[in-house]
Amino acid sequence: MTGNDAEQTDEEIVKRVQMGEIDTFSFLVSRYEERMMRYARKFLLGYEEAQDSVQNVFIKAYRNINGFDIKRKFSSWLYRIAHNEFINVLKKKKEIPILGLDIGAIFPASDRYNAFKEVERKETKAMLEGHLNRLDPKYREVLVLFYFEDLDYKEISEVMHIPVSTVGVRLKRGKEIIKKVIKHEE
């Protein structure tokens, strides 16, 4: 990647790919490969699955690149593809029902989960390490995206296609479950 390429935004690079400069797609892969691998490993809880799944994510992203609206944010779009891909993997493993009703997204949820400080974030992140496998995928994913991928509520809402209030509720409940697990272990 040249200096100019590194300065270009994701959306500018996508535009170049859409115009036929297919090699420039590699810049996007390089930028997001590590993040996608981290997301996959923490959410799917398996390294080999993570590699194959992340490769599929980028393949699907390329296949659908002409459907991407450059006015949108590329990272949200890519994370959305990754979310769908990882959910399919979990459905095949039967960790998630194929036809599931998301009860938490049916009714309005009161979001009393407040923004927190950086110190608290680091402590929570440390707490989550090693215990993510104790969580239901719907809580695990939200915690991974928030604490490890540094996405905000709105971005997580766009990735998972759930209301912002539901994001807050799931973060809160996920943390509570982990705390109970840790307490029980002590």
For residues 141 to 160, the per-residue mask of contacts with other proteins, x marking binding by CB under 8 A and - elsewhere, is: ----------------xx--
Q: Which of 108, 115, 118, 119 binds other proteins (CB under 8 A)?
A: 108
CA dihedral sign of residues 52, 68, 88, 148: positive
Q: Is 9 in the site for other proteins (CB under 8 A)?
A: no
User: Measured from the CB of residue 103, what is the shortest distance to other proteins in angstroms?
Assistant: 10
Q: Is 126 in the site for other proteins (CB under 8 A)?
A: no
User: Measured from the CB of residue 83, what is the shortest distance to other proteins in angstroms?
Assistant: 12
Residue 156 to residue 93: CA distance in whole angstroms = 24
The phi-psi region of residue 94 (left if phi > 0; otherwise alpha if psi is between -120 and 50; otherwise beta) is left
Q: Which of 23, 118, 185, 186 binds other proteins (CB under 8 A)?
A: 23
Q: Is 70 in the site for other proteins (CB under 8 A)?
A: no
Q: Which of 55, 84, 88, 124 binds other proteins (CB under 8 A)?
A: 55
Residue 169 to residue 106: CA distance in whole angstroms = 13
Q: Which of 164, 172, 177, 181 binds other proteins (CB under 8 A)?
A: 164
Q: Is 165 in the site for other proteins (CB under 8 A)?
A: yes
Q: Is 33 in the site for other proteins (CB under 8 A)?
A: yes
Residues that bind other proteins (CB under 8 A): 17, 22-23, 25-26, 29-30, 33-34, 55, 58-59, 62-67, 102, 105-109, 157-158, 161-166
